């Protein structure tokens, strides 16, 4: 790889900027001495200034869209459709959509969504409490984020399975490559067919739900079209489902490994916000964020030729000892710093759902820490292979149920 003065170190065995091996991905960080590492299919940037510069550079564009464009077998109608997703857009059109969505995703709106999150997690915990153990991915993590978004949209429970299937298919091409583009496109059309009539009906009786906030949003007479709202909701489900599951799953793993921190959270629930941030720092939903060089780009002296895939390492920054003291220590009482982690990205595409995601993590932690007096691992965990998003795919846990929570669970069951 050519470079303008800055050496790009070879690291051919790290497909996702994570060294091969078993166990939690944050324990397999590549060496941090090189600013840029060459991966089999691109370049990993891991210096904080370079990563922030790259996040701001609009010539470094969405990799998933570039992949679709490079495959002549992909239906052009799907490519056109994907250009309308926030992550694919840049400049004024992107800003307009973000501004019109701000109110629905604001901290104030999110406060109003918390009770629904809490009751969804309480309903998931109740049936496992008497057993004292469960496989947390199936019992608690997989069924959490989609019902939350559905509840916030006012979508009935009986349609949650449909949304789970469509959300998984919607992102299939991102995980499986352009060969899955047809499945993803079909999911986009299924989402249109379901949601457009829902939106039309909701327009006549606006409430306090997220969909109503999106319908009410207005800037100088400009409003979101129905199709833009469908795209937005699809984007929320695609961006907010596995990410939330994986951070919560990795977080429970970290708590199980650090029982003193679990006790601290139980005794001082007011630490929940810091606990969520510490989970997000230690175990971002992915080790890195990808971009694609639409032209030759120079990132602070590192030459990136047109057509290169770039991985912006979140892990390198979240574990940077010059920012976070003893970064491998899981500590929910860390002093508050201005930018504790880059798990929600940086620059124009910073996660639009970050307040919602943090609230989901906090409400889940509050319910679980009230219910489980102790928390430990109950067998080997399995982790996603080191590509794309990262987190546990199997997380057996054992716990002692609190007497109060157990009584409440029996009352709910009765």
Give the interface with ligand HEM as residue ranges (CB under 6 A): 86-87, 98, 149, 235-236, 239-240, 243-244, 247, 284-285, 289, 343-345, 349, 351-353, 356-357
Cβ nearer to ligand HEM, comparing 330 with 344:
344
Cβ nearer to ligand HEM, comparing 64 with 126:
64
Shortest Å distance, C-beta 314 to ligand HEM: 7
Cβ nearer to ligand HEM, comparing 165 with 410:
165
Cβ nearer to ligand HEM, comparing 284 with 392:
284
CA 140 – CA 369 distance, rounded (Å): 13
Shortest Å distance, C-beta 137 to ligand HEM: 15
Give me the residue whose beta carbon is nearest to ligand HEM: 353
Shortest Å distance, C-beta 373 to ligand HEM: 26
Shortest Å distance, C-beta 334 to ligand HEM: 18
Shortest Å distance, C-beta 379 to ligand HEM: 25
Residues in Cβ contact with 363 at an 8 Å cutoff, skipping those fewer than 6 apart: 114, 117, 118, 121
Cβ nearer to ligand HEM, comparing 100 with 357:
357
Candidates 362, 377, 406, 400; CA nearest to 118 is: 362
Contact 245, 142 (CB under 8 A): yes
Residues in Cβ contact with 72 at an 8 Å cutoff, skipping those fewer than 6 apart: none
Cβ nearer to ligand HEM, comparing 40 with 91:
91
Structure tokens belonging to residue 406: 């157990």
**DSSP string of 127-194?**
TTGGGTEEEHIIIIITTSHHHHHHHHHT--GGGHHHHHHHHHHHTHHHHH-GGGHHHHHHHHHHHHHH
Shortest Å distance, C-beta 195 to ligand HEM: 15
Number of H helices, E strands in the chain: 18, 13
Structure tokens belonging to residue 262: 């679990």
């Amino acid at each position: 790889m050519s470079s303008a003065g800055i050496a790009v170190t070879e690291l051919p065995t790290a497909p996702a900027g994570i060294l091969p091996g078993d166990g939690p991905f944050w324990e397999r960080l590549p060496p941090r001495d090189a600013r840029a590492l060459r991966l089999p299919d691109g370049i990993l940037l891991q210096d904080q200034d370079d990563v922030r510069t790259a996040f701001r550079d609009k010539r470094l564009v969405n990799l998933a869209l570039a992949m679709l464009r490079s495959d002549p077998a992909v239906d052009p109608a799907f490519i056109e459709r994907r250009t309308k997703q926030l992550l694919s857009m840049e400049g004024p059109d992107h800003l307009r959509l973000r501004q019109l969505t701000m109110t629905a995703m604001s901290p104030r709106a999110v406060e109003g969504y918390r009770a629904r999150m809490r009751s969804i997690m309480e309903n998931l915990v109740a049936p496992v409490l008497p057993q004292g153990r469960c496989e947390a991915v199936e019992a608690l993590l997989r069924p959490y984020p989609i019902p939350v978004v559905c509840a916030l949209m006012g979508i009935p429970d009986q349609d949650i399975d449909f949304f789970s299937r469509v959300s998984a298919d919607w992102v299939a091409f991102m995980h499986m490559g352009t060969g899955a583009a047809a499945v993803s496109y079909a999911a986009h059309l299924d989402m249109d067919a379901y949601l457009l009539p829902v939106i039309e009906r909701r327009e006549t009786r606006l409430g306090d739900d997220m969909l109503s906030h999106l319908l009410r949003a207005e800037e100088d007479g400009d409003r979101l079209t129905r199709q833009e709202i469908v795209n937005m909701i699809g984007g929320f489900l695609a961006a907010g489902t596995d990410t939330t599951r994986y951070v919560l799953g990795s977080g429970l793993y970290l708590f199980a490994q650090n029982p003193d921190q679990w006790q601290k959270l139980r005794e001082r629930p007011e630490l929940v916000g810091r606990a969520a941030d510490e989970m997000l720092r230690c175990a971002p939903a992915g080790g890195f964020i990808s971009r694609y060089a639409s032209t030759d780009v120079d990132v602070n002296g590192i030459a990136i030729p047109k057509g290169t895939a770039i991985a912006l390492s979140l892990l390198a920054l979240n574990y940077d000892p010059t920012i976070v003291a003893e970064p491998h220590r899981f500590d929910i009482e860390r002093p508050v710093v201005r930018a504790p982690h880059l798990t929600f990205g940086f620059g124009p595409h910073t996660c639009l759902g970050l307040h919602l995601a943090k609230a989901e993590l906090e409400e889940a932690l509050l319910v679980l820490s009230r219910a489980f007096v102790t928390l430990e691992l109950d067998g080997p965990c399995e982790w996603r292979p080191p590509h794309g998003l990262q987190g546990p795919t199997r997380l057996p846990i054992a716990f002692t149920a609190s007497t109060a929570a157990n009584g409440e669970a029996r009352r709910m069951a009765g």
